[in-house]
Amino acid sequence: MLRYLTAGESHGRGLVAILEGLPAGIKVEEKFINAELKRRQMGFGRGKRMQIEHDTALLVSGLKSSKTLGSPLAILIKNKDFSIDKLHPVLCPRPGHADLAGFLKYGFSDIRECLERASARSTAATVGIGAVCKLFLKEFRISVTSNVVSIGGAVAHEERVEKIKLAMANKDTLGGDFDVIAKNVPIGLGSYVQPDRRLDSRLAAGIMSIPGIKGVEIGLGFGYADKFGSEVHDAIYYSNSKGYSRSTNNAGGIEGGISNGEDRVLSGCMKPISTLMKPLDSVNIKTKRSSKAATERSDICVVESAGVVAEAVCAYVLADALLEKFGGDSLADIRAAYQHYLKRIKK
């Protein structure tokens, strides 16, 4: 079983991630992890913070000669902007952010005490964990990628850029949606025997754990709502050369909580960034008087980055499910169990 924890604040010393449960023998490429961290920082509409930080992973435990030892893997990503104790207090909560709920929940006197951890800056640690999981999945030819579907309703790349430019000019923000595609996932990951073991519920929870995500679909998703069953269920075929196959994939590669051998296709919807440079109405938590919401250095649009983070959480879920099915203490043991299983289901 895999599990991970992250720690760190947006303007603290740095971010820490610990991943436990990886088998021994996986080659971990630091260059690949750093490339994934850089992908998270890219995309038109990112803010000035991305010009300051050059996220680099420092692998501090769990490896010898770049191979996993089966012990916990720890990643440190230092913040160049380490200014948490110098920043001004925040007194006017931003609609759409964790500001008001977090301030009331923990009894803080300064909203910054919750926004520092609630910040999406923490997703850098998530991407670091996901990169390691991708390297594990690569051993089984499983890949996880993403692409932007639309931003602010615009689909074509040029139109998306123009929409973001308009938001910049209006001191506004934009959201959008993205797809995540996992290829070569074997039949049989996940289970129908308990709700928390269903692969679709685990993937959906992973996507929804990303800050700013407000919706998730698997396969056709809400497109099922106005269709007859005969129109949408994926018919099954068999041939000696291909084995079992489908000509459609409306289920998104999951049936009954179990992977069915087709590509895993998920979609996520991200809301517009909550920090507006032309702020909405709010209330000062000290005076209780009407005020404008606080403004912080922020992005305009991060849908592309959200897709990269979604890849990471999906890679983690798939790696966990693969270990659940074929688990062992070493990569060699897992690979042997995996190959034996593939031979059995081809009979």
CA distance 159 to 257: 37
Q: Give the 3-state DSSP-derived string for 112-168, with helices as H, strands as E and coil as C.
A: HHHHHHHCHHHHHHHHHHHHHHHHHHHCCCCEEEEEEEEECCECCHHHHHHHHHHHH
47/227 Cα distance (integer angstroms): 42
Measured between alpha carbons, how far is residue 343 from residues 71, 91, 188, 237, 297 in Å? 31, 62, 13, 19, 55
How far CA 10 is from CA of 14, 89, 121, in Å, comes to 8, 14, 5
Q: What is the pLDDT of residue 51?
A: 75
Estimate the share of the chain in helix, then strand, then coil, as percent rounded to the nearest 5: 35, 25, 40
Q: What is the pLDDT of residues 102-158, one digit of tens each?
A: 999 999 999 999 999 999 999 999 999 999 999 999 999 999 999 999 999 999 999
Torsion of CA 307, 313, 319, 323, to 10 degrees: -160
Mean pLDDT of the region 299-323: 97
Q: Nearest 5°: CA angle at 127, between 124 and 128?
A: 90
Q: What is the pLDDT of residue 45?
A: 87
Task: Determine the pLDDT at residue 198.
Answer: 98
Q: Which of 168, 134, 181, 179 is nearest to 270 (CA)?
A: 179
Q: Is the pLDDT of residue 49 over 80?
A: no
Q: For 232-250, how does the pLDDT look when each residue is reduced to its tens digit (9 = 90+)?
A: 999 999 988 888 889 999 9
What's the pLDDT score for residue 84? 93
Q: Which domains does the chain have, with CATH numbers?
A: 87-346 (3.60.150.10)
Residues 82, 76: contact at Cβ < 8 Å? no
In this predicted structure, what is the pLDDT of residue 29?
94
Q: Assess whether pLDDT exceeds 80 at residue 77.
A: yes
93: left (phi over 0), alpha (psi -120 to 50) or beta: beta
Which 3-state string (H, E, C) describes 173-214?
A: CCCEEEEEEEECCCCCCECCCCHHHCHHHHHHHHHHCCCCEE
pLDDT for residue 105? 97
d(CA 99, CA 113): 9
pLDDT level of residue 53 (50, 70, 90 thresholds): confident
pTM, rounded to two decimals:
0.95
Structure tokens at 220: 């056709």
Instruction: Please state the rounded mean pLDDT for residues 193-209.
Output: 97
Contact by Cβ (8 Å): 99, 111: yes
Q: Which of the four pLDDT bands, split at 50, 70 and 90, describes residue 310?
A: very high
* Residue at 179: amino acid letter: D
Q: What angle do CA 223, 302, 82 make, to 5 degrees?
A: 145
Mean pLDDT score of the chain: 95
Whether the pLDDT of residue 50 is over 80: the answer is no
pLDDT value at 47 more than 80? no
Residues whose CB falls within 8 Å of the CB of residue 225, separated by 6 or more in sequence, listed in order:
none
Which phi and psi angles does 326 have, rounded to 5°? -120, 20
Q: Which amino acid is at 210?
A: I
CA atoms within 13 A on the CB side of 214: 12
